[in-house]
Structure 1
Amino acid sequence: MKKLIILTFLYLTCFACETKKDEAPEIQEQTVSAPYRKSTSVTIQGQALIVNILELNDSRCPINADCIQAGSVDLQLSVSDGTNKVNIPVSFKSDSKASGHQTFLLGKQNYSLVVHEVLPYPITDRKPDPEEYKVNLSIEKI
Structure 2
Amino acid sequence: MKILFVGFALVIGVLDCAKSDADPVRTIDLHKGENYDKEFKGQDVKISLLEISDSRCPENVQCVWAGEARVGVQVEIGSTVNDSLGLCLDCTVTPGLADAKTYTVDGQSFRIVLTEVNPYPKDTTAETIEQKAVFELQ
Task: Give the shorter-chain TM-score range.
Answer: 0.5 to 0.7
TM-score, normalization: structure 1? 0.65
**Residues 92-130 of structure 1: per-residue CA shift (max 9 Å, x gap):** 129xxxx5122245687652211111011122212535x
- Amino acid in the other structure paired with 2:87: V
1:127 to 1:91, Cα distance in 2 relative to 1, 3 A: farther
Give structure 1 stretches of 5+ with no counterpart.
Answer: 1-18
Alpha-carbon distance in 2 for matches of 1:48, 1:70: 37
Alpha-carbon distance in 1 for matches of 2:52, 2:31: 11
- Amino acid in the other structure paired with 2:134: N
- Amino acid in the other structure paired with 2:99: G
Residues 1:138 and 2:130 are matched in the alignment: no
TM-score, normalization: structure 2? 0.66
Give structure 2 stretches of 5+ with no counterpart.
Answer: 1-13, 92-97
Which residue of structure 2 lines up, in the alignment, with residue 35 of structure 1?
Answer: 31
RMSD (CA atoms): 2.8
Which residue of structure 2 lines up, in the alignment, with residue 76 of structure 1?
Answer: 72
Equivalent pairs: percent with the same residue? 24
Alpha-carbon distance in 1 for matches of 2:45, 2:114: 16
Answer yes or no: is the 8 Å Cα contact 2:29–2:132 preserved in 1: yes
Answer yes or no: is the 8 Å Cα contact 1:102–1:114 preserved in 2: yes
Out of 90, 96, 108, the position equivalent to 2:87 is 90
Write out the 4+ residue segments of structure 1 that deviate beyond 4 Å after TM superposition.
105-110
Alpha-carbon distance in 2 for matches of 1:106, 1:87: 17
Which residue of structure 1 lines up, in the alignment, with residue 3 of structure 2?
Answer: none
For this pair of structures, how many residues does the alignment match?
A: 114
